[in-house]
Structures are given as C-alpha cells and as structure tokens.
Amino acid sequence: MTTSQTPATTRFLTGITTTGTPHLGNFVGSIRPSVEASRRPGVQSFYFLANYHALIKCEDPARIQRSTLEIAASWLAAGLDPAHVVFYRQSDIPEIPELNWLLSCVTGKGLLNRAHAYKASQDKNQAAGREADDGVTAGLFMYPVLMAADILMFKAHKVPVGRDQVQHIEMARDIAASFNHLYGEHFVAPEAVIDEHVATLPGLDGRKMSKSYDNTIPLFAPREQLRRLIQGMLTDSRAPGEPKETEGSALFQIYQAFATEAETAALRQRFAEGIAWGDAKQVLFERVDAVVAPMRERYEHLMAHPAEIEETLLAGAERARAVATPFLRELRSAVGLRSLSAQPAAAQPAAKASRAALPAFKQYREADGHFYFKLVAADGRLLLQSTGFTAPKEAGQAIARLQQSAADATEALQALQPQLAPVDGVTPSDVVAALQALHAAA
C-alpha cells in the first residue's frame, strides 16, 4: 500500500457508496471479508468512500455526509488498518474526476448504452409509458466511466464485486484498452473477483437484508435496540417442543454467519429438539452481540470524534495522491496536455505524422505477471499478439527476431508461431508486410 509496487504485489481496490447505514448484511458480505483480505501478504489494498457515486443515487447532502461518517467509522471499527491499506474519500482525489474526463473522450456511447443500470432505467420508463430517458441524468449514464477512473487510476489488478457489478469491470477493461490503443500502454486491465462463498443475509422479514426493503439490522445498533430487532424477526407458528427447520430460517442463517461450526451444529440440534422461538432469538442476539460489542465501543468513540476520522481520511488521500498525481501527469503528457516550452509546437505534428505512418511493437506486463508484446498497424489495427513470457528479456528477444531483415520475416514468423496467439482477420502476409515496412524505415 505504498507508492511503490513490486512484481509480486497484487493491488486490490474496493469502493463503498456513501448512501446508507451499514447493517449486518454489509458486515458479513463485504466488510469482514475485505478486512481479512487486506491482511494477506503480497497484497496492496485500496479502500475508498465513493461519495461522488453517491450523488447519482442521493440528493440529500446531510444523508451523504452522515453516511460517509458512519461507513468510515464502521470499517475502522471492524479492524481496517489505515497504516496497512490506503483508505481515502473519493472526493479528496482531484485526479479522479480529471481522469474521468480523459476516459470519457475515448469511451464509445454505444458501450455506455449497454450498461445494466442505464438499460434498467429505460426499461422502467418504458413500462410506465414514459420517455425512455425520463429522469436519467448524465451522471447515471456516465457512471461506468467514473468507476473505470477509480479503478484505472491506481492500476488495480483485482476488484472484488458482486455479480451485478461484473459488467462494470469488463467496461473498465474496454475503456483501458481504448486509451492504451491510442496513447500507448498506460493502464492495467483489471479483473473482477467474485467470492462465491460470501454470505447474503436475510433481513427481519426473511427477504435479503437490504435498505430497499427496510428490513435491516444496523451493524452498530445499541445493545437493547439490537435485542428488540432480533426479537421482532418473523418466524413460523411452530410451538415450543415442535421440531423446527433450519432450511429457510432467517434466524438460523444469521446465526450461522456469526458462529463457529461447533456452535452452528449445536443450534441445529436444538432446532431439531424443538427450541422455542423466543429462546432461539435470545441465542442469536447473544451470539451477534458477542461479535459486535467489541467493535461497537470503537465505533461509538469514532462517531463521537469525527475529527479523528477526517484526519485518517486526509492522511489516506495524501498516500493515494502520491500514486495518482505522477500517474495523471504521465497521462496528461500522453494525450498532449503538455507545456508549450517542452517542444516547439511546429515540430510536433511532423513527429506525430512520422510515427503514425509506421506499425509499432508494444511490450507490456499483465496482471498475471507475464510479459507480452503486440504489433499494431499504422491505422491502429492489431496485427500480432504474443502469448505470455516469463521474463521481459524473452519478449524483447522475440521482438528483435521479428525485426530482422525483410527476407527473414516469414521465417522468423514461422519459428515463433508457438509464442503467438491468432488474431481474427489478419493473414501472415499482413504481418510480413508490416515487418518489411519497419525494416525499410530502420
């Protein structure tokens, strides 16, 4: 989690939208596994409060501010270590909205038209007999680009998401590829990480615990409020002494998410023996409170001292900007936003035209740790794509072999065939012609 990155380090990035109060489902499904993941060796973790994204969903300034405070306090109380991870507020990183604009300029509208959230809004309008884009803001439409900026700014390799967010990671990869194609290899292609074992908790009414259903149990509800909420959970009408099913029981599922395997087995036995619902709810309350109580004390302290959270977030922003600022400087230069004194303006178009007239090799490293190269035509078409090499020297040697004399181009291409991946619509003669053009210009 520093500005430097060794080859063995994998960067993970997670964003939390600041529009609500964390509940038990958030803890089990996101907070707890993310905090545990941040402690793994060889991992750099970036965690941010996505308050720009919140503006798309919420128009209540007080709620956004309050949610930012509650979510930050919840993550810190749950054990997130700001000395070990980069923990920051999205709006404290001015490089992100600037990158958002740079990416907007290379993102096709057709790609954004296919975004699930945008299509869902259009479908909802159509079902209600309204104009397709009624109530759709530019922010909602451009949401995938801002998310791509969040991810690509820090060259994140892995982004833990739910299945409903996988499309956004795929779109970030597409946007990164578009930028890299035009301006050179700057961005890492991120990968979505889906944990199939992360639990989804039921709420008070048995449906998925969600703010949308108003059935949540706040993570740091006071002890007596927690007791009342659990005692009010819906159960069936089976009487004390009558065996009860664990399958489909919201009460049992929540208990299982907070208990050990031995404790879970013991409660399953008590269900079979006909435990009274009141007693089962008391068991659940005691188990959840045993986990939450030590964190609740820390949470309440942080909520009473918001300046501590503010200081932590600003320190995290400073660390994040140590990465973002030089990278954005690189990107600004790549697109031509440069000092006029760096190079005479009249000389630039000629140099650009000269480069554009020739194919080009590009060598880069992917998140899998392997080294690749590709040959791109003068018009930007992909002509040649390598498979992965274990060392950059090997990739460089393969490029050098392909750059031999024009007479040897076909032979070199055939010799390296096992290290080359097929490219649709490209013939060997296309590649040979490009190699000959490079040789002639050398």
In sequence order, the β-bridge partners of residue 89 are 49
Residue numbering of the annotated binding site for L-tryptophan: 150
pLDDT digits (tens, 9 = 90+) for 187-196: 999 999 886 6
Q: Is the separation of the CB atoms in 337 and 348 below 8 Å? A: no
pTM assigned to the model: 0.72
Where do runs of H (alpha helix) occur along 305-366?
306-335, 347-356
Task: Give the E-state strand segments of 37-190 in sequence order.
Answer: 43-50, 86-89, 158-160
Question: Which value, in Å, is the radius of gyration of the alpha carbons in the chain?
Answer: 27
pLDDT(354) > 50:
no
Query: What is the C-alpha separation between 10 and 158, in angstroms, rounded?
Result: 7
Query: What is the C-alpha separation between 21 and 220, in angstroms, rounded?
Result: 9
Q: Provide CB contacts within 8 A for 318, sequence distance 6+.
A: none
pLDDT(124) > 50:
yes
Residue numbering of the annotated binding site for ATP: 17-19, 25-26, 162-164, 201, 208-212
Structure tokens at 9: 């380090």
Query: What is the C-alpha separation between 392 and 389, in angstroms, rounded?
Result: 7
Query: What is the C-alpha separation between 261 and 248, in angstroms, rounded?
Result: 18
Higher per-residue confidence, 154 vs 166: 154
Sheet holding 191-193, edge to edge: 86-89, 43-50, 10-17, 158-160, 191-193
pLDDT digits (tens, 9 = 90+) for 246-284: 998 999 999 999 999 999 999 999 999 999 999 999 999
Q: What percent of the chain lies above the pLDDT cut of 90?
A: 61
Q: Is the separation of the CB atoms in 85 and 1 below 8 Å? A: yes
Query: What is the C-alpha separation between 270 and 265, in angstroms, rounded?
Result: 9
pLDDT digits (tens, 9 = 90+) for 43-88: 999 999 999 999 999 999 999 999 999 999 999 999 999 999 999 9
Angle (deg, nearest 10), helices 261-272 and 250-258: 160
In this prediction, residues 7-11 reach a mean pLDDT of: 71
State residue 423's pLDDT score. Answer: 76
pLDDT digits (tens, 9 = 90+) for 212-245: 788 999 999 999 999 999 999 999 889 999 999 9
Domains observed in the chain:
10-200+306-335 (3.40.50.620), 222-298 (1.10.240.10), 360-440 (3.30.160.160)
In sequence order, the β-bridge partners of residue 210 are none
Query: What is the C-alpha separation between 44 and 367, in angstroms, rounded?
Result: 13
Structure tokens at 281: 């709810």
State residue 1's pLDDT score. Answer: 37
DSSP class of residue 209 equals: P
Query: What is the C-alpha separation between 44 and 344, in angstroms, rounded?
Result: 41
Residue numbering of the annotated binding site: 17-19, 25-26, 150, 162-164, 201, 208-212
Query: What is the C-alpha separation between 175 and 158, in angstroms, rounded?
Result: 16
Where do runs of H (alpha helix) occur along 260-305?
261-272, 277-304
Query: What is the C-alpha separation between 56 and 117, in angstroms, rounded?
Result: 11
pLDDT(292) > 90:
yes
Structure tokens at 180: 């890299």
State residue 246's pLDDT score. Answer: 92
Structure tokens at 436: 């000959």
Q: Which candidate, 202, 190, 191, 193, places its Cα nearest to that of 163? A: 193
**Candidate from 252-261, 293-302, 389-398 with smallest mean pLDDT:** 389-398
